Amino acid sequence: MGVKINEVLERIFEIEDRITELTDNFINYLENESYYLKLKSDVIEYTDYMIIKIDVPGIEPEDLKIFQKDNNLIVKGIKRKEYNDEKVNFIIAERRFGNFYNIFPISEDYDLNSIDIKMKNGVLTIKISRKDDITIIKKIEVE
């Protein structure tokens, strides 16, 4: 018994319709306000302090919130749309807008009461000082 070409084509079209539906659902998910953007960041440790740098292009300072919970530093906010959806016809739409939420676990070696925050050229820089009573132990090579 062979398979009829019409049955194969019908199955291919069903799969194509399902892929289109999944793609549309995914795009709707990305555009939903409950979707959280993931901002690019670096965490750099120095001898006396740590620096967290987060790319925040197009985000206004008043749309940022930085707070501490337990030993975590939390940066959250919103990247707002710049246009009215009803009157816009996109040719290309690659930029994402919406809420963002980044959590940075901070070692107990750092003083979360000693934080310096600056924003310049679309980069948020958070400097956290190391606690004074911490002794840094250097690695000793054993031969």
Q: What is the pLDDT of residues 111-142, one digit of tens each?
A: 988 899 999 999 999 999 998 865 556 666 77
- At residue 23, does pLDDT exceed 80? no
Average pLDDT, the chain: 83
Please provide residue 49's backbone torsions phi and psi, each rounded to the nearest 5 degrees. Answer: -160, 170
Helix (H, G, I), strand (E, B) or coil at 122: coil
Tell how strand 41-45 and strand 49-55 pair up.
antiparallel
0.75 exceeded by pTM: no
- The DSSP 8-state label assigned to residue 132 in this structure reads T
The pLDDT value recorded for residue 86 is 72
> What is the rounded CA–CA span in Å between residue 57 and residue 66?
17
> What is the rounded CA–CA span in Å between residue 73 and residue 103?
6
